[in-house]
Amino acid sequence: MRKPINPQIHLGEVDISAIQFDPRSRDDIPRILRGLQHLYINPELRQCVFLALEKIIPESIDKKNGRPGMDLWRVLVFGTLRLVISCDFDRLRELANEHGKLRQMLDHGPYDEYQYRLQTLQDNIALFTPEVLDEVSQITVAAGHEIVKKKKNGYRAVVIPLS
């Protein structure tokens, strides 16, 4: 039984849309998390991504019965993070258990002491295949193009010449 997002908020948990990132940070992790935050706060975009992510659930699994698996949101966050920063599962596990903003993006509050196990990450992120990643990428790129179109109409658009 997998859900896209766990709707139950726990004590001390911060809503993903309210997470604040340092805008001056040049590290890649906050940039990734801000992009995922944008995806999260747009319901239509999030719905399209979750429809693509539902393909990772094996057909033999009953979606309405059984033990809960990792939420699709967490699979998306972990899979994206692992691919963008090119890390192994040991580093991903360390980030998942110790990085404060990442834990907030994964719906863990300050009182939640849940620790991700290496095998759990390996089993779930292995489901995030290149085909699914490509489909999610197509959706997010199309959404990015829509943002740029909106900026051209109402704001200054930055055009970088190719030559």
10 within domain boundaries: no
3 within domain boundaries: no
Q: What is the pLDDT along the chain (163 residues), one digit of tens a residue?
A: 356 666 666 666 778 888 999 989 899 999 999 989 989 999 999 999 999 988 887 777 766 765 667 888 999 999 999 988 999 999 999 999 999 999 999 988 888 888 999 999 999 898 888 888 889 889 988 888 887 776 555 554 444 444 3
pLDDT of 160 reads: 43
**How many domains, the chain?**
1
88 within domain boundaries: yes
Nearest of 157, 4, 159 to residue 76 by alpha carbon? 4
pLDDT of 140 reads: 87
71 within domain boundaries: yes
162 within domain boundaries: no
86 within domain boundaries: yes
pLDDT of 143 reads: 84
Q: Rounded CA gap, 22 and 90, in Å?
A: 26
Number of Cβ atoms within 10 Å of the Cβ of 77: 22
Q: What percent of the chain has pLDDT over 90?
A: 36
Phi, psi (deg, nearest 5) at residue 60: -75, -10
Answer whether 32's CB lies under 8 Å from 99's CB. Answer: no
39 within domain boundaries: yes
pLDDT, tens digit (0-9, with 9 covering 90-100), for 39-75: 999 999 999 999 998 888 777 776 676 566 788 899 9
pLDDT of 162 reads: 44
45's tokens: 């975009």
146 within domain boundaries: yes
Give the residue carrying structure tokens 């963008």.
84
**Average per-residue pLDDT for the chain:** 82
pLDDT of 105 reads: 92
Q: Can you give the residue range of the structural domain that contains 114? A: 16-154
pLDDT of 16 reads: 86
